Amino acid sequence: MGLYRQKFIKLFVFTLFVILLSCSDSEGINENENSDNTIVGKLGQLSIQNTKLADKNGNPIALRGMSLFWSQWAPNYYNTETIQWLRDDWKCTVIRAAMGVESGGYLENSDLEYYRVKAAVDACIELGIYVIIDWHDHHGEDHLESAKVFFNKISAEYGNYPNIIYEIYNEPLDVSWKEVIKPYAEEIITTIRKNDPNNLIIVGTPNWSQDVNDVLNNTIDDDNVAYSLHFYTGTHREWLRTKAAQAIAGGILLFVSEWGLSEASGNGNIDITETNLWTDFMEGNNLSWCNWSITNKDEISAILLPSTTSLSGWKENELSEAGKIIRDYLIKMNNDLFDQ
């Protein structure tokens, strides 16, 4: 009798366990269905199709968002609160985490800088937007081994998430594409591809990511590599658009991972006419972009006034001139995608 009762209790507990499991299973499915309404839920795994950036269904898309400032100098914005505001109020579909490498960055404080990037990446995953993991360096070829360690670790941790975009070299200086940048890029890409076979990788180009036409006839052998084009509308004008147009005509996918409404120094005046020419160029060519940058530093390209110290909830009178312009433009361009 005792044995029978024991068996019965065991069966009862087992049945309860199965019921609980199936309940939590269906809850899990519901959660996934809800999260499909995020930007990454809608667009999914990115890839390059017919020289354009494409969503999971192969349709051409453009991501538009903001770059954070150097992580070692503006780490307070590398958090969910700020990024959620940039998604909900500014309508960013992508955030760039600009991890400083030199000048007190990753080379000196690798654990701390990794942690800051991780905080931004985790926030973007949670919020369902894309995130660029940017090796924000001007001397990548001197830091090859450190870059390999970093990209191996972060691609092993996040390579399964469609949210992730790797930018492996922000702005090379005046060095050769063929002799310096391409060999560096191929080593880093091989490292990443062991962990992540398919996510988009952005490669810097010579001269602060301007000489995009140097890549023509000498591209990297990988299906999902884009090349970065950077510009500041107060300095870089028609001559740079001509170079970019040559690269695009040659079948190269450009990604504007950094552009600003100032001169190249970060200061100077905002040139509205030139800014409009650039935004027309990007839209005409369906280019993705991140604007520089989220900071309250006293410079023209900074989107916050120096007196603005809050991490989110910025009112109109707390934004710089550049901040007001770029917020309006982001909302205009991205709003439909959020509403779909």
The least CB distance from residue 114 to Ca ion, in Å, is 19
The residue among 196 and 271 lying less far from Ca ion, judged by its C-beta, is 196
State the burial class of residue 50 (Cβ atoms within 10 Å of its Cβ: 0-12, 13-18, 19+). Answer: exposed
The residue among 159 and 250 lying less far from Ca ion, judged by its C-beta, is 159
The least CB distance from residue 199 to Ca ion, in Å, is 4
Question: Which stretch of DSSP H or E encloses residue 167?
Answer: strand 164-167
The residue among 159 and 268 lying less far from Ca ion, judged by its C-beta, is 159
Q: Clarify whether 171 is annotated catalytic.
A: yes
Among positions 159, 182, 237, 329, the unique one binding Ca ion when judged by CB under 5 A:
159
Report d(CA 219, CA 289) in Å as an integer.
Answer: 21
| Contact of 78 with 117, CB cutoff 8 Å | yes
| Contact of 165 with 133, CB cutoff 8 Å | yes
Q: Clarify whether 299 is annotated catalytic.
A: no
* Radius of gyration in angstroms for the set of CA atoms belonging to the chain, rounded to a whole number: 22
Report d(CA 125, CA 29) in Å as an integer.
Answer: 18
Restricting to residues 181-200, which ones interact with Ca ion according to CB under 5 A? Answer: 196, 198-199
Report d(CA 303, CA 308) in Å as an integer.
Answer: 10
The least CB distance from residue 264 to Ca ion, in Å, is 34
The residue among 158 and 314 lying less far from Ca ion, judged by its C-beta, is 158
Neighbours of 181 (CB within 10 A): 26
Q: Residue 8 carries which side chain, given as an amino acid letter?
A: F
**Stretch near Ca ion under the rule CB under 5 A, chosen from 64-72, 88-96, 136-144, 155-163:** 155-163
Reading the block at residue 129, the tokens are: 């937007």
Query: Which candidate in 113, 141, 167, 258 is catalytic?
Result: 258
Does 167 help bind Ca ion (rule: CB under 5 A)?
Answer: no
Query: Which candidate in 113, 141, 167, 171 is catalytic?
Result: 171
* Residues acting as catalytic residues: 171, 258
Sites of contact with Ca ion (CB under 5 A): 159, 196, 198-199
